[in-house]
Amino acid sequence: MSLPKINPTKTEAWKALETHFQEMKKLQMQDVFEKDANRANQFKIKWQDFYIDYSKNRITDETLSLLLKLAEEVKLKEAIKQQFSGEKINETEDRAVLHTALRDFENLKPEVKATLQKMERFSEEIINGSHKGFTGKAITDVVNIGIGGSHLGPEMVTEALQFYRNHLKIHFIANIDGDGVAEILKDLNPETTLFIIVSKSFTTQETNANAAFVKDWFLKKGSEEDVQKHFVAVSANVDGAKEFGISEENIFPMQDWVGGRFSLWSSVGLSICCAIGFNNFEAMLKGAFEMDNHFKKEDFGKNIPVVLALLSVWYNNFFKAESEAVVAYSQYLYKLVPYLQQAVMESNGKSVDRNGEKIDYQTGTIVWGNVGSNSQHAYFQLLHQGTKLIPTDFIGFSEPLHGNTENHNILMANFFAQTEALWEGTHKKNVQNPFKFFDGYKPTNTILIKKMTPNNLGSLIAIYEHKLFVQGIIWNIFSYDQWGVELGKTVAKSTLQSIEKKDSSVIENLSTKNLLNIFLNNEH
Ligand code: F6P
């Protein structure tokens, strides 16, 4: 059975939301907490180590109930069941979408179990030093070569869980920029470095070129035979990896039903296992699994991903907010936004609906942001006093990991203060100076988590995965394909041929042709 194909704008709930919005847009509800002492308690969800406060949003009971009605009318419940049961909901690629099966500990598929065991064995040998390099030395550095989903997830997690890391140094080669690659290689010793080539397809231009370059670099010291001790691959394309020269036992399989941007739970997470050990990796998977169960079973009104998705749709489609920010008050999460950008924007940046029709309403939100408190000194001015409406998620942790409570208190004071200032503005103060006046009424969600642990990180990532899925269902788009990135890849291939042949004659676009000629002749 295919996913429901319902135009959201034609539903009863959407029409009611439009009418409701006409009322809501006139309101300035900064004082709502004085009027309704129960509001903070009402618009919150407490789940395990998570406390989600969404009371500082431009919503009333009615808004929420209409949004929930919308979720019902677009048949969200059925869609969730279809995804988890492995139906081929990625219709345009004829694939199931089962990254959740990688962490379904009640029902682990035999192939998932076998891969996890292989990852455990291998990462342990790397960590405990029993895996030796070609001169008999233990591995000290692990380099993940991959791009997009084969990079952003592992990098985000290894940074986020730095506290749980061992002695191994982890590096990431993603960009095809040779200068970047050289900067990483210059500090590495081929005798003690393990390269993990991560590519689901094993056809990605950047990854293949970088892997070939790195292998040549390695072969200046080691032999072809030594490659087996220093190169492993993660791929669904076993033949491609073998062709590159990696032996079958050094290939960690990936399933067709795992999309790149949702793949950190799979063997793509091998660098994570090396960095934090298999037990921590498994704890992260378990955290995600617990969130999967919450998402599958909890009523939508108390369902974290569903509520966050509905709020986002409310701002995106009714207030016409073009973007949303994510600000984590944790240096550990400094790679969260780039990760979310791929997850959210590659998934929901679509303008054709599930019926193949051009869409006349807004879809995919633009996600941006950085960590707090740094962001306050960069772009918060625009959040507070700019003309654009930017709903923002604030993520923070109650406990620091290193026991520096003094700094943590300052960090968290800023965390709480900002959502309050964004909402309250200066409306209670008699501010006459227009430059110092703050409108307030800026919406935020506060995600307060007890502590940064592998388990909680897994749950947090899963929240955002499910949130984007819910939005895709509401917008009637296919969230799990990414045809939009293909055209650029094809054009890049033909442009590369022109560069290699030093011949721009086949380039049709005159702007590109001019630029290429300047580049080819270095005519600056
Ligand atoms: O170009 C987009 C994309 O296909 C992503 O979806 C994917 O994460 C990335 O390229 C890398 O793909 P692969 O793992 O096949 O090298």
Tell which of 229, 253, 276 closes a domain.
Answer: 276
pLDDT in tens, 85-127: 999 999 999 999 999 999 999 999 999 999 999 999 999 999 9
Compute the average pLDDT of residues 185-208: 97
State residue 524's pLDDT score.
82
Contacts for 89 with CB less than 8 Å, ≥ 6 apart: 2, 3, 79, 82, 83, 96, 97, 480
CA 101 – ligand 1 centroid, Å: 20
Give the structural domain span for 31: 8-96+283-475
- CATH number for the domain harbouring residue 347: 3.40.50.10490
For the stretch 278-291, pLDDT in tens is 999 999 999 999 99
Pairing of strands 251-253, 366-368: unpaired
Decide if 501 is inside a domain.
Answer: yes
pLDDT, position 346: 98
pLDDT at 1: 78
Mean of the per-residue pLDDT values for the chain?
97
Mark whether 157 and 181 lie in a shared domain: yes
Q: Does the beta carbon of 199 lie inside 6 Å of ligand 1? A: yes
Phi then psi for 43, rounded to 5 degrees?
-95, 65
pLDDT average, residue stretch 220-228: 96
Residue 449 lies in a domain: yes
Using DSSP's 3-state secondary structure scheme, residue 465 falls into helix
Q: For the residues 37-64, what does the mean pLDDT come to?
A: 98
Domain count of the chain? 3
pLDDT for the residue numbered 488: 92
Cβ-count burial 58-68 (b if 16+ within 10 Å, e if not): bbbeebbebbb
Note whether 305 and 448 are same-domain residues: yes
Distance from Cα 390 to the centre of ligand 1, integer Å: 29
Same domain, 327 and 311: yes
User: Which of residues 241, 259, 276 is at a domain's end?
Assistant: 276
Is residue 1, in this structure, part of any structural domain at all?
no
420 and 344 assigned to the same domain: yes
- Rounded Cα distance, 272 and 165, in Å: 9
DSSP, res 371: B
Q: Evaluate: CB of 208 within 6 angstroms of ligand 1.
A: no
Biggest CA pair distance of the chain: 76
Q: Is the pLDDT of residue 152 over 90?
A: yes
Are 216 and 356 found together in one domain?
no
Q: Tell me, yes or no, whether 482 lies in a domain.
A: no
pLDDT digits (tens, 9 = 90+) for 427-453: 888 999 999 999 999 999 999 999 999
> From ligand 1's centre to the CA of 239, what distance in Å?
18
- Determine, yes or no, domain membership for 484: no
Residue 196 has pLDDT above 90, yes or no: yes
Torsion angle, alpha carbons of 44, 48, 49, 54, to 10: -10
Mean pLDDT of 303-313: 98
DSSP 225: T
> What pLDDT, on a 0 to 100 scale, did the predictor assign at position 253?
97
Q: Does some domain include residue 483?
A: no
Could you give the residue numbers annotated as active site? 346, 377, 489
In a domain, 480, yes or no: no
The confidence band for 29, taking pLDDT boundaries of 50, 70 and 90, is confident
Asked whether 485 lines ligand 1 (CB < 6 A), one says: yes
**Given this model, what pLDDT does residue 52 score?**
98
434 and 308 in one domain?
A: yes
- CB 145 within 8 Å of CB 207: yes
pLDDT above 90 (res 28): no
Among residues 234, 252, 276, which one ends one of the domains?
Answer: 276
Q: What is the DSSP annotation of 37-52?
A: TTHHHHSEEEETTEEE
Average pLDDT value for residue range 376-394: 97
Are 358 and 411 contained in the same domain? yes
Closest CA to 422 of 396, 394, 449: 394
Please tell me if the CB atom of residue 492 comes closer than 6 angstroms to any atom of ligand 1: no
CB 340 within 8 A of CB 471: no
Residue 461 has pLDDT above 90, yes or no: yes
Q: How confident is the model at residue 49 (pLDDT cuts 50, 70, 90)?
A: very high
Quote the ipTM score. Answer: 0.98
Residue whose CA lies nearest to ligand 1 atom number 10: 148
Ligand 1 neighbourhood includes 150 CB (under 6 angstroms): yes
Give Cα 78 distance to the centre of its chain.
24
Asked whether the predicted pLDDT for residue 53 surpasses 90, the reply is: yes
Tens digits of per-residue pLDDT, 462-493?
999 999 999 999 999 999 999 999 999 999 99
Cα–Cα dist 469/71, whole Å: 12
In a shared domain, residues 117 and 52: no
Query: Are residues 407 and 311 part of one domain?
Result: yes
Per DSSP, the residues of 156-167 read HHHHHTGGG--S
How wide is the angle at C-alpha 367 spanned by C-alphas 103 and 32, nearest 5°? Answer: 100
Same domain, 435 and 505: no
On whether both 398 and 261 belong to a single domain, the answer is no
Looking at the structure, tell me whether residues 79 and 198 fall in a common domain.
no
| CA of 481 relative to ligand 1 center, distance in Å | 11
